[in-house]
Amino acid sequence: MAHDYSQQRFETRCVHVGVDKDDSYNSCITPIYPTSTFRFESLGKTKGYDYTRSGNPTRRALEESLASLEGGIDCRATSTGMSAITACMHLFKPGDHIIAGHDIYGGTFRLFNVPFTEYGLKFSFVNMQDPGTVRRALTPQTKGLWLETPSNPLLNLVDLEALATIAREAGAISIADNTFMSPYFQRPFEQGVDIVMHSTTKYLNGHSDVVGGAVITRHQAHAERIGYIVNALGLACSPFDAWLVLRGVKTLGPRMEVHQRNALAVAQALRTHPSVDRVYYPGLPDHPHHALAKKQMKGFGGMLSFDVKGGGAQAEKVMTTTRLYAMAESLGGIESLIEHPETMSHASMTAAARQGAGITDKTLRVSVGIEHADDLIADLLGALDGSRG
Ligand SMILES: *Cc1c(COP(=O)(O)O)cnc(C)c1O
């Protein structure tokens, strides 16, 4: 029988919510239900599920867990982060205007700039670090604000509370992509945001062995509409993928603590290295948005970027000579990754959009894993030493 864990703390809910699903054999871990369809007991009578596109007990367990961790009323787990964003965009109709940050995830930019623009939605990509810029971009057709903080790859923050307020006053829906922080470090509902989405591929799963997404809602009307859209468009994730993410979520708290501890140590080591021009990490006191980070986040996360002195050739040398950091896109897994945003993660942006967001060829982005910090620092500093001259 499912218990009520709503009064328990975050780490306890990570372990327990969505787990007590098996009354047949009392398994302690949620079973995987790899079935496309479910037997009816009589005409119109099921045990709650009829077809896996519409609903599946393993997927539901993950949805209950993520809704609880973000503090929402409902969640839909999707096949990818992009399908979660696709579900959100179907809250809007052709002609609606949506304001998004100019430095959002490259794949989100592409989805907005091509498929959803062709579908008839209108987008403005603006620098959301100044709420005044967002206010000036509002039109009578503005129906949505797309928020991503910290941004990728330069780790700029936007003020969730200020922007959620602007959206509410304009009658627009505010949606936050909370992939970078996970609900352990940031819960945008607490700042008044309407909808939270994730690429569960990243920290929520945390083990680089699945792609997935989630949309978490806190208003009944949004919950019903997102549920309808995910079923109608066929965006939901497989039971097996849901099970993997549910397993990952159990260790979210301890993993995030180590990601953060290591990221801070690496950021501090990079800062004093002669081959590094600049380090972008919101946990550093001289980060331009450090005060806002302390206000709206419960930690600073495991992502950082830095500029290599010289330029693209030096950056490439660093990236290709590290041994512990795999040269790969993606982030949020237990292993450390390094990548070149201009040619890799942000290649799906236009050159003009990259320039506007300040992404240059000397920037490298690191997803700091949970290896020993001393090994991570020695490997990266060694590669930087080798990049000189
Ligand atoms: C990876 C990512 C996405 C897209 O998620 P997929 O699971 O790759 O489809 C969206 N937003 C952010 C911030 C991401 O890092």
Residue tagged 């005409």 (tokens): 43
In this predicted structure, the answer to whether residue 311 has a pLDDT above a threshold of 90 is no
Q: Which CATH architecture has domain 10-249?
A: 3-Layer(aba) Sandwich (3.40)
- Residue 1: what pLDDT? 46
pLDDT at 252: 98
> Which pLDDT band, with edges at 50, 70 and 90, does 389 fall under?
low
The answer to whether the beta carbons of residues 365 and 153 sit under 8 Å apart is yes
- Helix, strand, coil share (%) of the chain residues, nearest 5: 40, 15, 45
122 is catalytic: no
Q: Is 326 left (phi over 0), alpha (psi -120 to 50) or beta?
A: beta
User: Is residue 53 among the annotated active site residues?
Assistant: yes
The whole-model pTM stands at 0.96
- Supply the mean pLDDT for the chain: 95
Residue nearest to atom 6 of ligand 1 (CA): 81
pLDDT at residue 373 is higher than 80? yes
Q: Domain limits of the chain? A: 10-249, 253-387
> CA 172 to CA 154: how far, in whole Å?
27
Ligand 1 binding site (Cβ under 6 Å of any ligand atom): 80-82, 105, 107-108, 148, 152, 177, 179-180, 199, 201-202, 211, 213
Q: In terms of C-beta distances under 8 Å and separation of at least 24 residues, what long-range contacts does 262-265 make, across chains too? A: 262/302, 262/368, 262/369, 262/370, 262/371, 262/373, 262/376, 263/300, 263/301, 263/302, 263/303, 263/304, 263/366, 263/368, 264/300, 265/373, 265/376, 265/377
Smallest CA separation from ligand 1 atom 5, residue? 81
- pLDDT level of residue 2 (50, 70, 90 thresholds): low
Q: How far is the CA of 83 from the centre of ligand 1 (A)?
A: 10
First to last CA, the chain: 66
Pair 81, 179: CB distance under 8 Å: yes
Which of 156, 261, 248 has its CA nearest to residue 201? Answer: 248
Helical spans, DSSP H, in the chain: 10-16, 57-70, 81-89, 106-113, 115-118, 131-137, 160-170, 182-185, 220-233, 239-249, 252-271, 290-296, 312-321, 351-357, 373-387
**Would you state the CATH architecture of domain 253-387?**
Alpha-Beta Complex (3.90)
